[in-house]
Structure 1
Amino acid sequence: MHLHVLGCSGSDLPGYNLTSFLVNKTLLLDAGSVTSSLSSADQAQIQDILVTHAHLDHIKDILFLADNLIELVVRNEHGPVRIRALAPVLDSIRTHLLNDTIWPDFTVLPAIGNPVLTYNPLEPGVWVDVNGLQAATFPVNHAKAASGYVLREESSGANFAFTGDTGPTSDWWHFLNGLPFSLEHLIIEASFPNSMEELALLSQHLTPALLRVELDKLHARPKIYISHMKSTFSSEIQEQLNQALDGYTYHLLRDGEDITF
């Protein structure tokens, strides 16, 4: 299973791309920085988007991807891209973005029977097949109906989980502890330094110290991949991670890198 990091930052600044991962070239995991990172040819390979929540830094490039793909759909060279998420997240995108006010409704363009995008609601904890991968979503503690994902390649058994944005939680870890396989890799956020714990809790994010408390709820000990650091505090966060993740193998994600699970 191949993961290409399009963006993994908690800040939108030159050199820092917003959250988005490309899995096996056809599946997006969030869509914060797609069209600025991928060529037209690579965008044309995308078939599905798994969305963790409806905050703009995780979904904004759904809008521009649809605009870029419409010509291919008109020529019947590309089928609809399936947006998959918990139903309230899809409702937020439908109501507040693809509403013909903020952006055209690409779920009826170029034609009702031939749209660029479709909505495909997921149920918590229910496994679905997505382009040959098994995927399941489960709620986390962040925005309205925010959730994380677990992806597994059946042929090899390779797997990883992605929390998306989250603050301290419990049900998510209970879900991971109940997986019928051992979790190998975990992508999780560390948005703020320890000195900003109050803000992290108010905004439902994690600091390195809070992250360690969360990881101690997990029975497995997967390799940890850190995302969503606020760029202003990245050096401070990295120093604190050295202490907080003592005993763990971890990696700081970088925009543009490729990882094979």
Structure 2
Amino acid sequence: MKLCVLGCSGSDLPGHHLTSFLVDGRILLDAGSVTSSLSLDEQAAITDIFVSHAHLDHIKDILFLADNLIEFFGHHTRPPVNIRGLPEVLDAIATHLLNDTIWPDFTVIPANSPVLTYQPMPAASHVSVGGLTIANHPVNHAKHASGFVLWGPGEKEILAYTGDTGPCDAWWHWLSNFHRPVRNVITEASFPNHLEELANISKHLTPRLLRRELEKLPYKPRVYIYHMKSPFSEQIQAELLESLDGFSYHLMREEETFEF
């Protein structure tokens, strides 16, 4: 399983791209920075978008991706791109974005060969895509949000992605009882410790809160940190050094590639 970081920042600033990860060249985990990171041919290879939640920084490039791909659908040359996520998340996208007011509804155009299609994933369900199995589970963020676990046939070919989340016992309990250890976890650290109240209100994590979450697992995974708010990044990094003492972790950067 190959994962490319298209965007991993909690802030939209020059040099900082919003959340999006490309898996095996065809699967997106969220779509905050797609069209500014991939060539048109690379965009055309995308078959599925797994959306953790409907906040704009995780979905905005669904709009521009659909617009860019219109030429591939006018001659009925390929199936639509699947947008997958909790039913409530997909309903929010349909109601508030792809509604012919904010953006054209690319689930019905072009006629008879739409660019996009909705594929709801009820909580605790799974699908098979491109040789991988992908399962979801609710997390504590937004009105409705979920994280995902992706795994392939190899024993170590497994990855969890929390998406944005605050403290969430149910998610870590689910991982703890997964059918095999989830040794790689992409998760967030949005705010420094002194903004813990803000983190709790907005349902995010600080380094200290992240440590408490990871300790809910019966083993120590390799941790990949994303979604740091750029104005606080230096402070967050210093606090992670202390809070994640004893854990193996990595601060994600745009254009990095990982093999799982």
Q: Same fold (TM over 0.5)?
A: yes
Q: What are the equivalent positions in structure 2 for 1:8-19 lying under 5 Å apart? A: 8-19=8-19
Matched, 1:61 2:61: yes
Q: How far does the alpha carbon of each residue in 1:188-207 deviate from its partner, in whole angstroms, 9 at most, with x for none?
A: 00000001111111100000
Deviation at 1:156, TM superposition (A): 5.0
The whole-number CA distance in structure 2 between the counterparts of 1:75 and 1:157 is: 41
Q: What are the equivalent positions in structure 2 for 1:10-49 lying under 5 Å apart? A: 10-49=10-49
The whole-number CA distance in structure 2 between the counterparts of 1:65 and 1:46 is: 10
Q: Which amino acid aligns with 1:121?
A: P
Deviation at 1:127, TM superposition (A): 2.1
The whole-number CA distance in structure 1 between the counterparts of 2:156 and 2:225 is: 22
Deviation at 1:126, TM superposition (A): 1.8
CA RMSD of aligned residues (A): 0.8
| Equivalent residue number for residue 189 of structure 2 | 190
Q: Which amino acid aligns with 1:220?
A: Y
Matched, 1:140 2:139: yes
The whole-number CA distance in structure 1 between the counterparts of 2:126 and 2:85 is: 12
Deviation at 1:78, TM superposition (A): 2.7
The whole-number CA distance in structure 1 between the counterparts of 2:154 and 2:198 is: 43
| Equivalent residue number for residue 95 of structure 1 | 95
Q: Which amino acid aligns with 2:213?
A: E
Matched, 1:169 2:168: yes
The whole-number CA distance in structure 1 between the counterparts of 2:252 and 2:117 is: 30
The whole-number CA distance in structure 2 between the counterparts of 1:200 and 1:24 is: 32
SS at match of 2:73: helix
| Equivalent residue number for residue 159 of structure 1 | 158
Matched, 1:239 2:203: no
Deviation at 1:77, TM superposition (A): 2.7
Q: CA contact under 8 A between 1:44 and 1:78: conserved in structure 2?
A: no
Q: Which amino acid aligns with 1:90?
A: L
TM-score, reference length from structure 2: 0.98
SS at match of 2:59: helix
SS at match of 1:49: strand
| Equivalent residue number for residue 131 of structure 1 | 130
The whole-number CA distance in structure 2 between the counterparts of 1:73 and 1:131 is: 21
Return 5+ residue gaps in structure 1 as ranges. none
Seq. identity, %: 61
Deviation at 1:155, TM superposition (A): 4.2
The whole-number CA distance in structure 2 between the counterparts of 1:226 and 1:90 is: 26
Q: How far does the alpha carbon of each residue in 1:107-161 deviate from its partner, in whole angstroms, 9 at most, with x for none?
A: 00001x3110000000222221012110000000001210100000124540010
| Equivalent residue number for residue 110 of structure 2 | 110
The whole-number CA distance in structure 2 between the counterparts of 1:216 and 1:139 is: 19
TM-score, reference length from structure 1: 0.98
Matched, 1:52 2:56: no
SS at match of 1:195: helix
Return 5+ residue gaps in structure 2 as ranges. none
| Equivalent residue number for residue 207 of structure 1 | 206
The whole-number CA distance in structure 2 between the counterparts of 1:223 and 1:156 is: 15
The range that moved more, 84-93 or 210-219, is 210-219
Matched, 1:82 2:82: yes
SS at match of 2:67: helix
The whole-number CA distance in structure 2 between the counterparts of 1:82 and 1:154 is: 23
Q: Which amino acid aligns with 2:47?
A: Q
